[in-house]
Homo-oligomer: A and B are copies of this chain.
């Protein structure tokens, strides 16, 4: 073929690929909205009926992603001499679709259908088990799920550890070999730090939150904070759900939800800031990527880095509350009467080993994640049996946190993830903290007056930094590429370790 004919063929494949990519993105965006609706405003009688409609669109979307047409486009565009001619955004889109195509194609249709049914049944069983505090309801389903995930790992393929294949689903490129030392460093230092904190005579007064904080006032305050943080309410909205989440439908429509608890205003305050972190990411992706697969966040871990950054590295600082505390007091003059800024600041940063992951403090949170990671690895490697899980769980909690769950409900049954098949997901949460701390270190060198900005309630510069270095790129880079581009280094646990060390040394006079 002449160069001209070749070019024409390539251009055709590019156009066809982009059209297909856009169609899948459009359907995915719609599915996102349907998910938002189901969790916010959908009336209960309609949900099971509508789930079928959603299933139809979901199947259609999946079919497109593994269609013959997609395969042909990818065949053409992945030829090295063609691929290197593509611009970077197109290369990244091809990379993403290729991964998706290869993985999905490897799972036989009947196995996949079996998996979908299992996930649905396992979720029902988990709910029952949790309600009745009886692991035996869930056990047979979880056993099947673990077997299924082992099969998936074999289908996907891996070099060293079968769990690598599952990790890769959430954090492309991550392996046990890379993650083990990161978590080992973090674990060791966290447990030491926790011990020192527990021996400190400083005892923050968390009791200040055990009062009635009017929910309408909490709503007003949450609204005030997110606007100050730069969340664009013309490109999003804040609603209320039991399980808060952020949903990026497109760059002009990134919705967040939060939960208001009358006797615990921390839930809404930090939950809202957390989701705002996710939302700023999605609102900040290059709008030229709209309708392309790279429009979303780089990975679950990178996404979590943005929410944790805002929640912890901004929202739990003394400077943040130097600015916001007077407003919070104005909303709750009686409840916070006589509580100094210092007392408040220490209270929101109190460290205490607890049983429930989602209620854990900034330090012990990672221990919750690491014990789950160890268990998941063991389950997939076959070293841990599902039937032994309650015991294994409780032993690990004792080992990591020094406490013992009085029930499975407050132990192994607390998280929904495994019932949905989300084995490999948990590490993302701590990866977010690791990525975030490493980015914070870079931000502090680029913006030496980082904390002065926060103290003045000026978040523009921080948002701009995150926008320029992280948000705008979406999935243009892999998470590994991105952290290196942003910070000049591979992911390293020392930044989070140092951050935690410094923060709590000061807070607890260690």
Q: Which residue in B49, B60, B253 is a CB contact (below 8 Å) of A251?
A: B49
Q: Nearest Cβ in chain B — how far from A60, in angstroms?
A: 8
14 more contacts with CB within 8 A, not counting A30-B54, A44-B234, A50-B252, are A23-B56, A27-B57, A30-B34, A30-B53, A30-B57, A33-B33, A33-B37, A41-B237, A43-B235, A43-B237, A46-B235, A46-B252, A49-B251, A60-B60
User: A30 to chain B: which residues have CB within 8 Å?
Assistant: 30, 34, 53-54, 57
Quick one: CB contact mask for A24-43 with B, threshold 8 Å, 1 for yes? 01110110011001000111
Q: How far is the CA of A22 from the CA of B251 in the complex (A)?
A: 32
Q: How far is the CA of A411 from the CA of B232 in the complex (A)?
A: 39
Q: Is A236 an interface residue when CB atoms closer than 8 A count as contact?
A: yes
Nearest-neighbour CB distance to chain B for A38, whole angstroms, equals 10
- Quick one: which of A30, A235, A236, A237 has the most chain B CB within 10 A? A30
> With an 8 A cutoff between CB atoms, is A291 at the interface?
yes
CB-nearest residue of chain B relative to A56?
B26
Are A50 and B250 closer than 8 Å at their CB atoms? Answer: yes
The dominant DSSP class at the A interface is helix
Copies assembled = 2
Question: Contact between A26 and B46 (Cβ–Cβ < 8 Å)?
Answer: no
- Is B43 a contact of A234 with CB atoms below 8 Å? yes
- From residue A39, how far is it (CB to closest CB) to chain B in Å? 13
Asked if A178 is an interface residue, CB under 8 A from chain B, the answer is no
Q: Give the top 8 A-B pairs by smallest Cβ distance, nearest first.
A: A46-B253, A45-B252, A26-B53, A46-B252, A45-B235, A26-B56, A49-B250, A29-B53
A108 close to chain B: CB less than 8 A: no
Task: Answer whether residue A243 sits at the interface, using C-beta atoms and an 8 A cutoff.
Answer: no
Asked if A485 CB lies within 8 Å of chain B CBs, one says no
Q: How far is the CB of A90 from chain B (nearest CB, A)?
A: 19
Instruction: Name the B residues within 8 Å of A27 (CB-CB).
Output: 53, 56-57
CB closest residue in chain B, given A25:
B53
In the docked arrangement, what's the CA distance between A76 and B30, Å?
Answer: 34
With beta carbons under 8 angstroms apart, the residue of B26, B29, B34, B56 that contacts A33 is B34
Instruction: Say whether A249 faces chain B, with CB atoms less than 8 Å apart.
Output: yes
6 chain-A/chain-B pairs, Cβ below 8 angstroms: A27-B57, A30-B30, A30-B34, A45-B253, A46-B253, A57-B57
Interface residues of A in 229-271 (CB under 8 A from B): 232-237, 249-253, 255
Q: Mark A155-168, 1 if CB is under 8 A from B, else 0.
A: 00000000000000
Closest residue to A48 on the B side, CB-wise?
B252
Min CB distance A34 to B, Å, is: 7
Q: How many Å from the CB of A19 to the closest CB on chain B?
A: 10
- Hey, what's the 0/1 contact readout for A2-25 against B, CB within 8 Å counting as 1? 000000000000000000001101
Q: Which of B22, B49, B57, B60 contacts A253 (CB 8 A)?
A: B49
Roughly how many angstroms separate A49 CA and B282 CA in the complex, as a whole number?
Answer: 14
Instruction: Write the nearest CB–CB distance from A362 to chain B, whole angstroms.
Output: 31
Tell me, rounded to whole Å, the shortest Cβ–Cβ distance linking A461 to chain B. 23
